């Protein structure tokens, strides 16, 4: 329950690892999970809501994307987790207003349009008059999704920069340097 609370209140990322247990056993509270929860219901007869919260929490966590190690290779799983956590930890987060009003539905809409879990190429444009929060939404989406990729780059002020002489080349160089990790065009 504490993990879910931190996810909700502090926007922390939850990466569940189902170690020698099938996520469906956790989700459906079968086998050892069902037995343990039944014992807890006997133990907390006076506070049935406590165990019900635990049941709901386990169902929610079991629905998160995560890892399942049945009889697989533990070292391979650990390597995969370390790579993802390393990308997350080394990811630079962009500054977004602390309490942006009305941003959540827009983030959900853009996330749905991007459908990162689909293995295809997507491009989404955010258009509108100045000052309505296009950059704020773009930064928040970047913060939510950039860690899922090997490399990422956020280009700001694209319209203004592209209008300057050599602006498009500058944008291309910035993009490629960020993505490839190289310092100058000549280094490629």
Going by pLDDT thresholds of 50, 70 and 90, the confidence category of residue 183 is: low
Question: What is the model's pLDDT at position 149?
Answer: 81
Residue 159, C-beta contacts closer than 8 angstroms, at least 6 positions apart: none
Q: Where in the chain is the domain with CATH 3.40.50.10140?
A: 2-74
Contact by Cβ (8 Å): 44, 87: no
Contact by Cβ (8 Å): 26, 62: yes
- How far is it, in rounded angstroms, from Cα 181 to Cα 49? 52
Using the predicted structure, report yes or no on whether residue 188 has a pLDDT greater than 70. no
Going by pLDDT thresholds of 50, 70 and 90, the confidence category of residue 184 is: low
Using the predicted structure, report yes or no on whether residue 173 has a pLDDT greater than 70. yes
Name the residue with higher pLDDT: 150 or 168.
Answer: 168
What is the tens place of the pLDDT at every residue in 98-151? Answer: 777 888 888 888 888 888 777 788 888 888 888 888 889 999 999 888 877 878
Using the predicted structure, report yes or no on whether residue 33 has a pLDDT greater than 70. yes
Question: What is the model's pLDDT at position 182?
Answer: 58
Does 3.40.630.30 match the CATH number of domain 2-74?
no
Q: Taking all residues of the chain, what is their mean pLDDT, rounded to a whole number?
A: 84
Tokens representing 155 are 């280009």
Question: Between helices 134-145 and 103-114, what is the axis angle to 10°?
Answer: 60
3-class SS of residue 17: strand
Query: If you average pLDDT over residues 34-45, what whole number do you get?
Result: 89
């Amino acid at each position: 329950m504490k993990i879910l609370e931190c996810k909700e209140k502090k926007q922390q990322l939850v990466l569940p690892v189902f170690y020698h247990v099938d996520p469906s056993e956790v989700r459906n509270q079968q086998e050892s999970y069902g037995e343990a929860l039944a014992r807890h219901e006997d133990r907390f007869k006076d506070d049935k809501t406590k165990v019900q919260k635990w049941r709901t929490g386990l169902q929610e966590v079991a629905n998160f994307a995560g890892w399942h190690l049945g009889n697989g290779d533990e070292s391979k799983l650990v390597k995969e987790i370390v790579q993802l956590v390393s990308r997350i930890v080394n990811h630079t987060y962009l500054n977004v207003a602390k309490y942006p009003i009305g941003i959540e539905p827009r983030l959900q809409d853009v996330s749905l349009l991007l459908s990162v879990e689909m293995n295809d190429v997507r491009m989404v444009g955010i258009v509108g008059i100045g000052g309505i929060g296009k950059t704020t939404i773009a930064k928040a989406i970047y913060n939510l999704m950039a860690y899922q990729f090997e490399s990422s780059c956020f280009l700001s002020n694209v319209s203004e920069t592209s209008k300057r002489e050599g602006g498009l080349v500058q944008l291309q160089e910035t993009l490629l340097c960020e993505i490839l990790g190289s310092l100058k065009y000549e280094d490629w």
